[in-house]
Structures are given as C-alpha cells and as structure tokens.
Amino acid sequence: MTRVITYGTYDLLHYGHIRLLERAKQLGDYLIVAVTSDDFDKKRGKINVKQSLMERIEAVRNTGLADEIIVEEYEGQKIDDIKRYNIDIFTVGSDWKGKFDYLKEYCDVVYLDRTEGISSSKLRSETTTLKLGIVGNIKLAEKYITESKFVNGLEIVSICTNDIIEFDTENLQKYSYDEYDKFLSNIDAVYVVSNPNEHFNFVDEAIKNKKHVLCETPICLKKDECLLLFKQAKENGVILMESNKTAYSTAFNRLSLLVKTGLIGKIVSVDATCTSMEEYLKTNIEDMPKKQNSMCAWGSVALVPIFQLLGTNYNKIHFSTYYLDKNINFDLFTKVDFNYNNAVASIKVGKGVKSEGELIITGTKGYIYVPSPWWKTDYFEIRYESQNDNKRYFYQLDGEGIRYELVTFLKSVENEKNLSYIEQEISEAITLVIEKFNNKENLDEIFVES
C-alpha cells in the first residue's frame, strides 16, 4: 500500500486546494493530510488565517479525500511524520518546488502543479478591504505603513498630520489637521497616533462620523472621557480599540497565561520599568513639554502587565515624580506604587533617565524575569530557588507585534466585536492613572538639584 502525505493551511478551502488533494490521492492508496496549527502558521508568518484549525480540519474532512488528518505544529515535523506514518510519497504544490527536496532522504517527493488564479489570500482580500487612515505622529505612522503590508484585507490609504513627511509616502493621500473632516470622509477606519492630549477630539470626531478607531494608548487623559468614547462607539456601531503593542507580543501573552496557571505560586509583586532617553537627548529642554511626557509615553505601556495580572481594583496609588524643574511641567521620571489586597506593584517610567527595562513578576514559588526591552520581548524565564527547575521560553515576535494588532483590529471590524487584547476596563484604568497623575493626586515631587 502506497502511503502519501501532504501539508497545508487550507484556509477558506477552494478548488485549488481540492484539485491538489485529488491528485495527491491518486499518487497512492492512502492519503494523510496535515493541517497547520494556528501557532505554527503565525510562526511561519501566515497571520491572516481567517478560519480556526477545527474549521479548516472539518473543511478538509468534508472533501472525503483524506484517509487521515493530522495537525502540523512545529518546524521539522514533516521528517517525524514520514517516519512515524511510514510514508512513501510526500507531495505539495509546485509553489514549493525545491523547498522540500531535503525530504528525498526519507521518501519520494512530488511537486504537483499549483492551480493558477485562486488563493486564500486573494479570497481574504476580496471579502473586505478596510481603508485605514493615520492621524498624528508621522514617525510612528511609518511603522504601521510597513506592517500593514503583512495584513490581507486592510490598506492604509491616507495620512493626516502637521508633521513634515520625510519618508516616501508612495500613493497615500495627505491631509493636514485642519482637513480632518475631509480625511475621515475617504476612509473606513482611523489609527490615532497624535499627541495624547489630542486623542479625545480625534477619536470623538471619527466615531461621530461612524469610523472604526484604533487609538494609540492612552485613549485619552480622563476616565470619564474614556467611558464616553466607548459608549459612543457602541451607539454608533463602530469599533474603538486601544493600540498597545505589548499586548500583542506572543511571549507576553503566554507569560500572562502561565502566571495564571499558578506556575510561580501566588503573585506578590509586579514591577515594570520602561525608559528611553532618545527623544530627550535630541530635544531642547524648553521644547520637551510639547512632547509626550514620561507618564503618557511609557506609563500606559508599563501598566498593562500590572492591570492584566493583578486587575484594576487597587486600594492605593502613589506617584514619585522627578520634574524637569518647578516651572516646566514635564516628568523626566515617575515611579508609581500600587497596593492591592494581596499584592503590590510598581512601574518606573522615564524619558529623562536610564534604567534596566525589565519586567519581574514575583511569586510565592518562583518568579518570571523578562529582559529588556520587556515591552517587545520574544523571550522570558521562569526562575525558581533551584536553578535546575528554571524554564526558558521563546516566541518569535515579528514587527514588534504591530501586524498582529492590525489583524485583530480588522477581525474586530469584520466580526463587529471588539477582540482587542486590551480589555475596555484596562483602557479605562490606564486613563484614570494618567488623570490622577496630571492632577498630582498622592504625588511627591522630586527635584534633583540641577
């Protein structure tokens, strides 16, 4: 009996896939079809898959062509499978010609002609192409323009900014802030990445024009305004999603899940540090107040692990802030301390200081160590008293998590459901902390002698 195996994602199953399976079946007597897992697809850069693994397996099963269906989960699994299932022939479409010649050592390798004119990514783009505009800081916009190219079904079509555009904006339409209404009229959704004190107005206007909104964290500077924006988004039937790239790093997501399984025991403390002096070192002191202060720029990033792991119902909060000087309201460094019923937490953030950008989650059995820069990490360790028990985890992170965030935003719009990795409650809690900071509630000022 000749045993054949073939592999694929089989997203939105189409006649190109079916023709491949039919010809694969004709190569032998028994056909195994390996369907790729979600994680494995993400790792190999296929981030736009629409259907779940189970939906894709069912679609292959319903063709009646597979004698057996397995899941492909890791790089190199094909060699294991060929041995495990006594495979005589490995086959795949000709778009992979040459890529699997290394399997000739284990079985015959046959590349079958790919069916022209059809593909899952083509089908995905045909369903919806969300026209996205970007308003605000042109430097951050550039990253999103690059990352959006990895997302099927979403296209950045315009920029609204008062900044001077120094990079090639190809065929993007350009608007200034005073043309915001016109900018909105030509898009379906907007990514707001302006100075945080302009967020509320940009988001409010977009929602009233029934545009979906992805807004850079913090969504605004007051909790009540945050509540109002989410309420208005619901009333207008649009998505309002917080953009907070850290939440889309797979490593960060997995460490949050592992902590919740009790691997390090009870969490006693969460301590996050984020500093970056890049902007401060190249800006005139008197111009700093025009820039995002440390609390806005970094606080809303550093607060994510605290609120995701300990919740948002802290009992006490205290700020210690190092100001530029008494007359310039710009915090170069802020430490925020939280007391919970059964845990404490702290963040240290600064645009005018340098520290180790690590995240440490302290537990009653062990702790999690995330090295700098933890906010875009692909790696973390679980450490115990006995080093032999330590565990290390690595999860590839492409594009700092931006492409995954854009895929989630697109899926939220398509499903008319906010699938954001940042719960609304956390968005609100972040804006409340910033509001308290701006009101100098429970805040001790530190003035380092100049």
> Site residues (CB under 6 A) for ligand C2G?
7-11, 16-17, 20, 36, 92-93, 95-96, 114-115, 118-120
- Residue 449, SS3? coil
Q: Alpha-carbon distance 328 to 185, whole Å?
A: 39
> Which lies closer to ligand C2G via its Cβ, residue 17 or residue 212?
17
> Which lies closer to ligand C2G via its Cβ, residue 7 or residue 191?
7
**Residue 119: CB minimum distance to ligand C2G, A:** 5
Residue closest to 328 by CA, chosen among 442, 195, 445: 445
**Residue 130: CB minimum distance to ligand C2G, A:** 23
Residue closest to 259 by CA, chosen among 203, 215, 309: 309
**Residue 83: CB minimum distance to ligand C2G, A:** 17
185: which residues sit within 8 A by CB, 6+ positions away?
209
Q: Alpha-carbon distance 255 to 439, whole Å?
A: 34
**Residue 103: CB minimum distance to ligand C2G, A:** 10
- List 69's β-bridge partners, or say none: 33
Q: Rounded to the nearest 5°, which phi and psi values hold at 336? A: -115, 125
> Which lies closer to ligand C2G via its Cβ, residue 120 or residue 273?
120
Q: Rounded to the nearest 5°, which phi and psi values hold at 446? A: -115, 125
**Residue 218: CB minimum distance to ligand C2G, A:** 39
> Which lies closer to ligand C2G via its Cβ, residue 114 or residue 291?
114
In terms of DSSP H, where are the helices of 70-179?
77-84, 120-127, 138-148
Q: Alpha-carbon distance 399 to 378, whole Å?
A: 11
Describe the crossing of helices 223-235 and 196-208 by its angle, rounded to 10 degrees.
Answer: 20
Residue nearest to ligand C2G (CB): 93
- Residue 448, SS3? coil
> Which lies closer to ligand C2G via its Cβ, residue 8 or residue 136?
8
**Residue 270: CB minimum distance to ligand C2G, A:** 39
For residue 289, how many other CB atoms are within 10 A of its CB?
A: 11
> Which lies closer to ligand C2G via its Cβ, residue 120 or residue 362?
120
What is the DSSP secondary structure assignment for residue 352, as one 8-state letter? S
**Residue 80: CB minimum distance to ligand C2G, A:** 13
**Residue 114: CB minimum distance to ligand C2G, A:** 4
> Which lies closer to ligand C2G via its Cβ, residue 94 or residue 197?
94
One-letter identity of residue 138: I
**Residue 414: CB minimum distance to ligand C2G, A:** 20
> Which lies closer to ligand C2G via its Cβ, residue 82 or residue 241?
82
Can you spell out the DSSP letters for 100-128?
TGGGGGTSEEEEEPPPTT--HHHHHHHH-
Return left, alpha or beta for 216; rule: phi > 0 is left, psi -120 to 50 is alpha, else beta: beta
> Which lies closer to ligand C2G via its Cβ, residue 8 or residue 352?
8
